[in-house]
Every structure is written in C-alpha cells, then in structure tokens.
C-alpha cells in the first residue's frame, strides 16, 4: 500500500547524487520505522506514466519513541526516469508516494564483528547498517571496504568520516579509488576477486567476521562473493544486494530452458483475497496479476529489488533472472513474480507469506 509523503529536504551529495528526506506524519511513524539496510519503494507519475523505483534508506534506524528519519540516497542513472526527475526537478514540499520499508539485506544490532564491501551507491544501505550498529551496540565492530571511481564521486563521504571520528576503535574504513591516487588508503585500481582474496586477510580476521554485507554493482558483488568463498567464508554469513544490473546482464535462471504449457492459469492471494486468471503468452506472473490487481507489489520489474517476492504454493515456474532472492529463499519456495513464467498448467502464488 502506498502512502503520500512530503519531501522535507534535498541535499546534493555529489555531482550526480542527492539525499532526499521525507517527512513522516505521526500516524505513519510505525509504518515507516525501518530495519537498517531496508529500502523504500516509491512511485511517481511523469507524463501520465507511473514510475516505480526502490531506494535504500541511508539514515540510521531510530528506536521508539523517536520519529523515524526517512532519508534515501539517489544517484543519477543514465536514462533513469526517477533519478533524473529526483536530481533535476524534485523540490522540497513535493509529494511522493512510498510503501513501508522492505528488504531482507538487514542487520539488527547485535554484538560481533561485521564487514561490508561496497561499490558506488552500494554505500547507502550499509551506512544505515553501520551507523545503527555502532550507535546501539557497544560490543560491535564494523569494517567498511568501499570502492569508488574518484573522491568527488563518493557518496556520503562526510557521514562515513563522521563514523570514523566517533568510533575510532570500532569502525575501520578502507577506501579504494579506481581512477585516482589517494594520500591514504589503497593504491588505485578496481577491487576484483584476485585483489580482494589477497587483501582481506591482511585487513581483518576473515573467518571470525560474523556477517559480510556486499552491495553495489553486479560485477563487484560477484567478485567479492567469489573472494570470500575462496577464503572459506560460509555462504550463510554473506549477505548481498545488487544495484544496477544491465538489461543484457547475465541471467540466473532457476529452472533452465523448459517449455511453457500452451495455456496456464495463475491463482494468486494478495492481502487475503484470491483470484484466478489465464496467463497470456510471454507475460510474467506479475503482469498477469497486475491486469486485475493494481495493488500487486513491485518496483524494479528486473529481478533486482525483491519487492515482488511470492511463495509458490503449487505448480512450477521458470525465472528469467534472480538477483534478489538468496538460495535459502528459493529453496524454501519463494519466487520473484516479475521474473516467473509458468511451467505447469496450474500455478498458485501467495504474496502474503
């Protein structure tokens, strides 16, 4: 369900990125309280077309009774309708519709040693995770390894520096710039699997890190995951969120090439109400549901954000690509409706589970 939220502040944080803060009215405080790492799905109409996007919340999570601070980071994406609008036209006082924060790339504060490898705007959810953890859990430590092109293009530079000043013994920052020399930090160059495999053991005791958070472009996240696996880190300790997958990016099919039945029927439950509809040729199960239920949840329609996650009650589906669900989730029967096509004549999804 979408709620109208008024923009209360817009800060330019780099040449091509802004931080947008929304005012949360008292009656929506509980709805918009987020767990660090979650994102906000927003929608806006431009020229009669509805645009939906998901943006990670960068502000630390507040505890009751404090009002939640709803601030997201938005970087301009080439040809991105909402990011172009946010950077060029969005103004304080405008109203944007948003759903309650969602997402499973989260860390609830607890004692332990945590680390993140982020690239570009991938810092956004990790900033919320690190700031909340360090403020609320005195027995926690956090190591942030961040990769950016240049210092000028680095988002949330001040906020990260502030964590370093505030928690000198518990926050460790390592910066890699791919196109610029820097006085401190790593020599220039990309953080790929080989470099990370050599670098990580020199930075921290890899095997005793309680949770790894990888966030950023597809390539960086995959390279970092490969390095951690090579260093013996268990999959269950690696959490990842991918930003910006090119449309022609490699697909991760859950079920490889299978023939679709000539006619399939989808039954779906959403907000406690069920319905059945024929699936038209070529469309995703999300599109089938959206023809009759405009309230079906989605944002990216690209297999990245996970907003359309649904439980597969019966039947089989084939997913075009999946950058959002962890293997445990697909193993437990969850699918991305925006990427799913029927493999059996009858398919049933439950969006409420």
Is the Cβ–Cβ distance between 115 and 142 less than 8 Å? yes
Integer-rounded Cα radius of gyration of the chain? 21
The separation between the first and the last C-alpha atoms of the chain, rounded to the nearest angstrom, is 16
Residues 270-329 close enough to bind ligand FES by CB under 6 A? 298-301, 303-308, 324
Nearer to ligand FES, 196 or 299 (CB): 299
Contact with ligand FES (CB under 6 A): which of 96, 338, 347, 349? 338
Nearer to ligand FES, 233 or 299 (CB): 299
Alpha helices (H) in the chain, listed in sequence order: 81-88, 123-136, 157-166, 193-203, 218-230, 285-292, 327-331
Please give the Cα distance from 274 to 288 (Å, whole number). 13
Closest CA to 163 of 140, 142, 149, 139: 142
Nearer to ligand FES, 188 or 333 (CB): 333
Q: With helix as H, strand as E and coil as C, how does 111-141 read?
A: CEEEEEEEEHHHHHHHHHHHHHHHHHCCCEE
Cβ at position 244, least distance to ligand FES in Å? 13
Q: With helix as H, strand as E and coil as C, how does 69-97 read?
A: CEEEEEECCCCCHHHHHHHHCCCCCCEEE
Nearer to ligand FES, 270 or 300 (CB): 300
Cβ at position 303, least distance to ligand FES in Å? 5
Contact with ligand FES (CB under 6 A): which of 18, 131, 266, 336? 336
Cβ at position 299, least distance to ligand FES in Å? 5
- For residue 306, give both structure tokens: 């996970």
Cβ at position 240, least distance to ligand FES in Å? 14
Please give the Cα distance from 55 to 38 (Å, whole number). 9
Nearer to ligand FES, 33 or 309 (CB): 309
Q: Classify each residue of 188-214 as buried b or exposed e, where b means 16 or more C-beta atoms within 10 Å of its C-beta.
A: eeebbbebbbebbeeebebeebebbbb
Cβ at position 297, least distance to ligand FES in Å? 8
Q: What are the phi and psi torsion angles at 301 (to 5°)? A: 55, 20
Cβ at position 317, least distance to ligand FES in Å? 13
Nearer to ligand FES, 16 or 320 (CB): 320
Cβ at position 85, least distance to ligand FES in Å? 19
Query: Should residue 42 be labelled a site residue for ligand FES when binding is judged by CB under 6 A?
Result: no
Nearer to ligand FES, 128 or 307 (CB): 307
Q: What are the phi and psi torsion angles at 18 (to 5°)? A: -130, 160
Cβ at position 343, least distance to ligand FES in Å? 18
Cβ at position 39, least distance to ligand FES in Å? 10
Nearer to ligand FES, 35 or 322 (CB): 322
Is the Cβ–Cβ distance between 112 and 210 less than 8 Å? yes
Residue with tokens 């020399």, as numbered in its chain: 181
Please give the Cα distance from 44 to 39 (Å, whole number). 16
Q: How many CB atoms lie within 10 A of CB 283?
A: 14
Nearer to ligand FES, 182 or 292 (CB): 292
How many residues bind ligand FES (CB under 6 A)? The answer is 13
- For residue 38, give both structure tokens: 């979650």
- Binding region for ligand FES (CB under 6 A): 298-301, 303-308, 324, 336, 338
């Amino acid at each position: 369900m979408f709620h109208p939220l008024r923009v209360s502040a817009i800060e330019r944080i780099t040449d091509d990125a802004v931080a947008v803060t929304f005012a949360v009215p008292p009656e929506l405080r509980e709805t918009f309280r987020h767990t660090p790492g979650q994102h906000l799905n927003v929608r806006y109409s431009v020229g009669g077309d509805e645009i939906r996007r998901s943006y990670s919340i960068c502000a630390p999570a507040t505890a009751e009774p404090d009002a939640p601070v709803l601030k997201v980071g938005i970087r301009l994406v080439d040809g991105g309708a909402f990011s172009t609008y946010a950077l060029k036209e969005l103004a304080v006082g405008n109203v944007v519709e948003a759903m309650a924060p969602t997402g499973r790339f989260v860390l609830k504060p607890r004692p332990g040693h945590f680390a993140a490898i982020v690239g570009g705007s991938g810092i956004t959810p990790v900033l919320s995770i690190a700031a909340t953890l360090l403020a609320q859990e005195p027995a926690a430590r956090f190591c942030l390894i961040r990769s950016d092109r240049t210092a000028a293009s680095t988002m949330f530079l001040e906020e990260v520096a502030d964590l370093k000043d505030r928690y000198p013994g518990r926050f460790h920052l390592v910066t890699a710039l791919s196109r610029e020399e820097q006085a401190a930090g790593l020599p220039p160059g990309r953080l790929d699997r080989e470099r990370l495999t050599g670098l990580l053991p020199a930075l921290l005791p890899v095997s005793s890190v309680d949770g790894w958070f990888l966030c950023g472009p597809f390539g960086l996240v995959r390279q970092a995951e490969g390095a951690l696996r090579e260093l013996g880190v268990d999959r269950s300790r690696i959490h990842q969120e991918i930003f910006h997958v090119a449309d022609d990016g490699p697909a991760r099919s859950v079920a490889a090439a299978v023939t679709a039945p000539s006619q399939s029927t989808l039954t779906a439950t959403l907000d406690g109400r069920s319905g059945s509809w024929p699936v038209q040729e070529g469309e995703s199960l999300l599109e089938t549901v959206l023809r009759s239920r405009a309230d079906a949840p989605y944002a990216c329609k690209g297999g990245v954000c996970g907003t359309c996650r649904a439980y597969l009650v019966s039947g089989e589906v084939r997913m075009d690509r999946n950058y959002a669900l962890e293997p445990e989730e697909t193993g437990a029967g969850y699918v991305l409706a925006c990427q799913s096509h029927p493999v059996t004549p009858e398919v049933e999804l439950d969006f409420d589970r």
